Amino acid sequence: MKEQDFLKIIQELAGTEYIGDDCAYLKDLGIVITQDSLTENVHFKREWYSPYQLGYKSITVNISDILASGAKPAYVTIALSLPSDIDSNFIKEFYKGANDGLCGAKIVGGDITGSKSEIMISVAAIGKTEGRNISSRKNAKIGYSIVVKGKHGLSSAGLKELIDGGKREDLIKAHITPNLEKKFSEFISLNCNDKYAMMDTSDGLADALFKIAESSNVKIIVDFDKIPTNEGISYENILFGGEDYKLIAAVPEEIALKSDGIIIGNVLEYDGTRLDISGKKYNNYNDLTVYNHF
């Protein structure tokens, strides 16, 4: 089975309206909440990350979801499962990195337990929604523009550098210490009065585009040549490479034009094709070359 199959089972059995977006919007409490986990030798290798970098990234992968919702990062809890060879310097440097990734949030608690051999990290993040218009991937409307903020494909290219023993520091940095798009998130949520869709591209740009199109029951068309990236980054990395942690939004054209993002496409009526990227059509999620945890 694939991750999406597991998620459908969980959504059916949980029986709540909150599951579907990367953040649960608890309107009665005025917050959004999200949780992500990182496991050694699945999401990272210890030899690739300093403790500081691991702390930083553990936080940013969660704060990115808060920003994608349009909320203001507020609070974070961190749960660590650590093997016996971890020392106090690791904890010190890990939390220094975590502090630098908070985007204004505060660490308010967590848990520490032992593990047999691998580091496991689970972070929960809460964002405040007061004064913000909160996104949902089901809110893309026909006629909306698709606007993206940040370059794509750099992180996955950086991962390849690490695997192959390369030395492109700019790409490796993009993978290990991603920069988040806080100002773009603020602009959209504070200025867009209509319902809108916004996601981060943690699982890839094509993944986010398809999920927005499917959840909103629309078709999204994109001009590949307009997607911002660096020279020499492959088509596959740009569309399907994950962990860029940039933002993609479907918003009214006037909002897209006023933002500092790049308009790369439009939302159309669904005609049997969910996603069209410069003529390449994707009708089913399994047509995408995306990472599957299982």
Structure tokens at 105: 């949030």
Distance CA 94, CA 244 (A): 21
pLDDT in tens, 177-201: 999 999 999 999 999 999 999 999 9
The string over 51-61, giving b where at least 16 C-beta atoms fall within 10 Å of a residue's C-beta and e elsewhere, is bbbbbbbbbbb
> Domain spanning 145-287: which CATH class is it, in words?
alpha beta
Taking only the tens place, the pLDDT of each residue in 105-136 is 999 999 999 999 999 999 999 999 999 999 99
Q: Given 3.40.50.2300, 1.10.260.40, 3.30.1330.10, 3.10.129.10, which CATH number is that of 22-128?
A: 3.30.1330.10
Residues (pLDDT < 50) of the chain are: 293-294
CATH 3.90.650.10 residue ranges of the chain are: 145-287
pLDDT at 15: 60
Residue-level pLDDT at 294: 42
Q: Which part of the chain has CATH 3.30.1330.10?
A: 22-128
- What is the Rg, in whole angstroms, of the alpha carbon atoms belonging to the chain? 19
Neighbouring residues of 85: CB distance < 8 A, sequence distance ≥ 6: none
